[in-house]
Every structure is written in C-alpha cells, then in structure tokens.
Amino acid sequence: MFKAGLEPKLNIIKRYFVSCTQFYLREKTVPKVTIYDTPMLDELENGEWPSFITSFKRLRDDHPDERINSMVGGLLGQLEHSYETRMGWWKGGTVSVFGYGGGIIPRFSEVAEHFPESKEFHTVRIQPPAGNFYTADILEQLADDWEVHGSGLQTFHGQTGNIMFIGSTTEQMQPFFDKLNSYGFDLGGAGPCVRTAMACVGAARCEHSCTNEQGMMRHLVNEFQDDLHRPALPYKWKIKVSGCPNDCTNAIERADMAVIGIWRDEMKVDQEEVKAFVADKGRDYVIDNVTDRCPTNAIKLADDNTLVVNNKECVRCMHCINVMTKALAPGDDTGVTVLIGGKRTLKIGDMMGTVVAPFLKVDTMEEIEYLVELTGEMIDFFAENALEHERTGEMIERIGLVNYLEGIGLDLDPNMVSEPRQCSYVRMDGWDEEVKKWYDKKAEAATA
C-alpha cells in the first residue's frame, strides 16, 4: 500500500534535483525540439479561465526532459492540425499490460509523418480512491511517476471517473502501471466490461448522506475486478453510488447500476432552527421556496412558524432539506434504492435507470453481502441475456421489466412504476396465482 516515510522524502530530493537540472539546462542548451506554429491554439491562451494550451506549452518549452518537450510539441502540432482541418487524427489499436485485457486507451497518430514526436500517445486509465480523495503527497507521487514514463499530462478525472494519464508510448505502459500497482492503484475499465465506479463525497463531508457511499462503491466494484480487467460482457456495466437523492454522481442518468442512499423513517426537523430560519427570511420566502416547491405537497408552514411534514407523502426528493440544511435532515432508518438501466444515447436513445429495489438496508455485513450478490446476479443475467453491444437498459426494454425481475429474483413493488398498465391488450389468465403470490409475500414479510 501507500509507502509512508522514505518515499515522500526521496521525492522531495528528486524534485530538487530535477529543478536544479532544469535551471542548468535552461542556461546551457537551446531546446532541440521542433516548435510547430500554432496560431489557432494560441488564441486559447487568451482569457481568464485556465488554459490547457498554456499548460502544454510549459511542458514543451520548460521541462528539463527533452522526451517530454518533443512529445508535447508533437501533440500541439497535431492539435493545431485538427483545429485547421476540423478533424480528429487519432486512431485506436491494441495495447495492454500483462495479465489484463483492457484499461489502456491506445492512440496512434494518423498524421505521424508530420508530427512524429507524438505518434504514440496512449492513455492509462486508473481507478481513483473512492470519493476522489488524495493527499498532496500521493498526487505528487503519481505525477512524479507519470513524469518519468509519460507526457506529464493528467486529468482528474474522466467522465466515467478514472484518473487519466494522457500520452505515452507502448513500452512505457507496463513499467508505469507496475509502479502504481505496487503502491495500491489498479487499472480502470475500458471496453465491454465492468467499468470504474464512482461515489459522491457523501458521509465524508455531507450532512445529507444516508449511507457509506465509498464503502459501498468499493464493496460493489472491487468484488468484480475480474470482470473489470478482462472485458467479456456484452457491453459496459457502470456502477455509481450517491449518498442521497440529490444524486451528485448522476447515477440515474449515467450508470447501469445506480445505488442511492435514502431513509424510510421520519425526516428530522429541528423546530428551533425552523423558527430561526423563518425569522431571518420571512414566511413568504419559506412558502415560496420551500413548501410550495414540494412535489407532493407534503410539507407546510404552520401558523406558529414550525414546519409540519407528512412523511407518508414525502417522496424524499431532498428539496426542503437542501434549502434548510440546518433545520431539516434525513431520518435515521437509512438504506439504499437501486435503479438499473441508465445509459447515454447509443443505440436506442438515452435511458434513465428505473427502480428494481426501492429500499435495501445496508447496515450489517450480511445486508451488504446481499447487495453484492445481487449485483453479481445482475451482471450474470446481463452476460447471458443481452445481445452483443446491448446495454442493460436496452435489454430490459426488449425483454420487459417483469422478466428481468424474475430472472434475478426480485419482488415486485408499486414503487417500480410511475403508473400501472393503461392498455387492456394483455393476457391475464394467470391472475389468481399472481394475486396469491402477492399475499404470500406480504404474509412472509409480516412474519419476518
């Protein structure tokens, strides 16, 4: 794991050495790298927002390592060429590290004869620590290692959530990965596989958190690392965990599996804080901005300036809590809602995840293991039943939610629909058996 002690000290010495060398080189030598004209990109150095072009030029012009100067110089040349031609000039290929199938995004230049310095410019996807936490020291260690093996360019993070180390050659992939792997980092997913997962900041710093987002994310994705590193699914499977229905990781819209913290008991109301808020903002403000915006009219401001919440009708949307963070809070009986099938446009259009488990407790190890097993069932079902290049949401659209739920063994619940069927064209000759199932389940739940 993370090597405390010696390693950071070595880094400091190394950096001191590097900056001395840099100073020395700047004095003594004229850069030997080709400087391509970039009149269009230069325009992106104007303005107040930080400029990625200025960043690139710093590496091209100031870095002590000529390998980096020339590689980023080539990148700038090729990018200018893209701006001129309005076309991309990278193509894919196959590059991987020993023992794994995916995780490196290979990029070979199609205009390498003009910009040979960046003819190979592969990206390494690395799974970030859950919740995207870093110490300055670990960031420096990552950057130091990439500086040795790559271009000195990195992104925290790509849209799926990976750390992206951008730009290096095939032979640098293995030694770079081995280093990171030795201090606790692992490659991310790419291709038809379980992908790198994401968790919101949640319990670490957010009063709305209803679950241990980071723990949950690691339980769910780390169990399936084999499926992440060796792409063998019909298509991708993304997991995102948000601690409350604000869904800061955009899980419903962007993940095949969205796990979202929620509570089933009463919302906590601190009436003294409510009164203080009303005194500060006025009744009108509270009515306009809090109670009137409730989607189910579940909250009202009483004459004595307290809030009355109808918890049976509250759908846990978070709005009132977001506005009155001191006065209102989620309840104590927390768990998660699981929604399945979110994805972006390809192939049948954007889809949101829909509820397959309205509420699961995840307090005990047993409860967490149940969710992990359920995830396994869902991945297996996807592997066996999806067509090639079909996402889970599209598969469910094709086979119907009922078949999906039966396939993975989940119970029906009216919370899974926004409304029941409206067309009578359906065969219902099994009605009585289904009714019996419903009552049996109810009885089972009552005795449990």
Partner 1 sequence: MAADRPQMPIESGAPDGFQYMHPTMRRNFGLWKYHERPRPGVLKHVAHSGDEIYTIRVGTARILDVYTLREITRIANELGDGFIRFTIRSNLEYMVDSEAKVAPMIEAIEKAGLIVGGTGPTITAPSHTQGWLHCDIPGSDASGVVKSMMDELVTEFKREEMPNRVHITTSCCQINCGGQGDIAINIQHTKPPKIAHDLVANACERPTIVARCPVAAIRPAMVEGKPTLEVDEKKCICCGACYPPCPPMLINDAVHTTLAIWVGGNHSNARGKPTFQKLVAAGIPNNPPRWPEATALVKRILKVYKEDAKDWERMNDWIERIGWFGFFEKTGLPFTKFHIDDWRGARNSLNASTHIHF
Binding site for ligand HEM (CB under 6 A): 125, 157-162, 188, 196, 238, 254, 344, 346
State yes or no: residue 64 binds ligand SF4 (CB under 6 A): no
CB of residue 233 to partner 1, shortest distance in Å: 16
CB of residue 268 to partner 1, shortest distance in Å: 10
Q: Mask 162-201, x = binds ligand SF4 (CB under 6 A)?
A: --------------------------------------xx
- Residue 314 site contact among ligand HEM, partner 1, ligand SF4, none (CB < 5 to 8 Å, cut-off depends on kind): ligand SF4
List CB contacts of 296: < 8 A, sequence separation 6 or more: 313, 314, 315
What would the DSSP string read from start to end of 311-327?
TTT-----HHHHHTTTT
CA distance 218 to 138: 19
CB of residue 125 to ligand HEM, shortest distance in Å: 5
Sign of the alpha-carbon dihedral angle for 131, 136, 141, 142:
positive
CB of residue 383 to partner 1, shortest distance in Å: 18
Among the listed residues 95, 194, 233, 298, the single contact to ligand SF4 using CB under 6 A: 298
Say which residue the tokens 């992106």 belong to: 44
- Residue 281 site contact among ligand HEM, ligand SF4, partner 1, none (CB < 5 to 8 Å, cut-off depends on kind): none
CA distance 139 to 65: 20
Q: Are 241 and 220 in contact (CB under 8 A)?
A: yes
Nearer to ligand HEM, 227 or 290 (CB): 227
What would the DSSP string read from start to end of 19-83?
HHHHHHHHHH----S-----HHHHGGG-SSSPPHHHHHHHHHHH-S-HHHHHHHHHHHHHHHHHH
CA distance 286 to 303: 12
State yes or no: residue 317 binds ligand SF4 (CB under 6 A): yes
- Residue 309 site contact among ligand SF4, ligand HEM, partner 1, none (CB < 5 to 8 Å, cut-off depends on kind): ligand SF4
- Residue 138 site contact among partner 1, ligand SF4, ligand HEM, none (CB < 5 to 8 Å, cut-off depends on kind): partner 1
Q: Are 124 and 167 in contact (CB under 8 A)?
A: no
CB of residue 322 to ligand SF4, shortest distance in Å: 8
Q: Is the peptide bond before 157 cis (omega within 30 degrees of 0)?
A: yes
CB burial of residue 223 (10 Å; 0-12, 13-18, 19+): middle
- Residue 233 site contact among partner 1, ligand HEM, ligand SF4, none (CB < 5 to 8 Å, cut-off depends on kind): none
CB of residue 139 to ligand SF4, shortest distance in Å: 21
CB of residue 384 to ligand HEM, shortest distance in Å: 21
CB of residue 382 to partner 1, shortest distance in Å: 18
Among the listed residues 112, 314, 360, 372, the single contact to ligand SF4 using CB under 6 A: 314
Among the listed residues 63, 208, 343, 391, the single contact to ligand SF4 using CB under 6 A: 208
Q: Are 330 and 263 in contact (CB under 8 A)?
A: yes
Nearer to ligand SF4, 317 or 383 (CB): 317
> How many whole angstroms from its chain centre is CA 263?
23
- Residue 442 site contact among ligand SF4, ligand HEM, partner 1, none (CB < 5 to 8 Å, cut-off depends on kind): none
State yes or no: residue 323 binds ligand SF4 (CB under 6 A): no
List CB contacts of 347: < 8 A, sequence separation 6 or more: 389, 390, 394
- Residue 162 site contact among ligand SF4, ligand HEM, partner 1, none (CB < 5 to 8 Å, cut-off depends on kind): ligand HEM
State yes or no: residue 318 binds ligand SF4 (CB under 6 A): yes
**Which region, judged by CB under 6 A, interacts with ligand SF4, from 17-25, 317-325, 397-405, 427-435?**
317-325
CA-nearest of 102, 134, 137, 125 to 197 is 125
Structure tokens at 200: 């919101």
List CB contacts of 48: < 8 A, sequence separation 6 or more: none
Q: Which of residues 245-264 bind ligand SF4 (CB under 6 A)?
A: 246-248
Binding site for ligand SF4 (CB under 6 A): 200-202, 206, 208-209, 242-244, 246-248, 294-296, 298-299, 309, 314-321
